[in-house]
Amino acid sequence: MLTSKENAFLRSQRLTPNDVYDGRGESQLERGEHAKAAGKSIVLAAACMRGHRLRTLHGHCVQCDISKLADQKRFSTAGLVYIAGSLSKELIRIGFSTDPDQRDSKLLFQSYGGAADWALLYSANVDDAGRIEDMARRRLKAFRATAEEIGEGAEEATDLLKTTFTRAHRALADAIGAGRCDKVFRARNRAKYDFAK
């Protein structure tokens, strides 16, 4: 069912025909759901404008844009989403990790974005951690900290938010929605990170 070009593409991505769900003749929504249920990461569908037929579960052509495959992998990874805050810089950060014990590792936040006082304020284990992180960040796009607001360390830290814990938490909770969410951690002093203006 696959051409030799398609097989070569799969090999280049360390995938096999076994990773492909044949969704030809199904709607985008149907084949995405069926592929997911079958544990497949690639969907065979009608050709894109350049004649490629291999797609992500969301319908993006993976042969036109290989990064869609990395996004899909990242987005569908279960893990820990978290909110961290810095009192000294009055900044918030949303992230995700596949290491479930990350909250014990304070080192992770040290000196990020020029702040040495990162504290974990909230975390939860979720399915699709990458997707949830991405969705929450997009909801908070208007609060992205400028290089000026970050000051020292701004070059390495492009994902910092000039916002409050409560607003960040609301965005994350919205992104998690009705999805699975367990091992929830809330720091006792999280209200301190609602930087009053």
Closer to Zn ion by Cβ: residue 66 or 116 = 66
Instruction: Please tell me whether residue 48 binds Zn ion under the rule CB under 5 A.
Output: yes
Number of residues in the chain: 197
What dihedral angle (degrees, nearest 10) is formed by the CA atoms of 118, 171, 82, 95? -80
Closer to Zn ion by Cβ: residue 50 or 197 = 50
**CA neighbor of 25 nearest in space, from 3, 6, 8, 1:** 1
- Per CB under 5 A, the segment of 32-40, 42-50, 72-80, 161-169 that binds Zn ion is 42-50
Query: If 0-12 CB within 10 Å is exposed, 13-18 middle and 19+ buried, where does residue 1 land?
Result: exposed
Tell the smallest beta-carbon distance from residue 76 to Zn ion (Å).
21
Instruction: Please tell me whether residue 14 binds Zn ion under the rule CB under 5 A.
Output: no
C-alpha 133/C-alpha 172 separation (Å) is: 7
- Per CB under 5 A, the segment of 10-18, 50-58, 68-76, 94-102 that binds Zn ion is 50-58
Contact 123, 82 (CB under 8 A): yes
Out of 1, 12, 25, 50, which residue is the one contacting Zn ion (CB under 5 A)? 50
C-alpha 121/C-alpha 161 separation (Å) is: 14
Please give the DSSP secondary-structure letter assigned to residue 127.
S
Instruction: Please tell me whether residue 61 binds Zn ion under the rule CB under 5 A.
Output: yes
Instruction: Please tell me whether residue 64 binds Zn ion under the rule CB under 5 A.
Output: yes
Instruction: Please tell me whether residue 67 binds Zn ion under the rule CB under 5 A.
Output: no
Cα 78 to the center of its chain, rounded Å: 10
Instruction: Please tell me whether residue 63 binds Zn ion under the rule CB under 5 A.
Output: yes
Instruction: Please tell me whether residue 45 binds Zn ion under the rule CB under 5 A.
Output: no
Closer to Zn ion by Cβ: residue 50 or 141 = 50
Closer to Zn ion by Cβ: residue 43 or 92 = 43
Out of 34, 36, 52, 162, which residue is the one contacting Zn ion (CB under 5 A)? 52
Query: If 0-12 CB within 10 Å is exposed, 13-18 middle and 19+ buried, where does residue 76 land?
Result: middle
C-alpha 163/C-alpha 193 separation (Å) is: 9
Tell the smallest beta-carbon distance from residue 47 to Zn ion (Å).
8
Positions that interact with Zn ion (CB under 5 A): 48, 50, 52, 61, 63-64
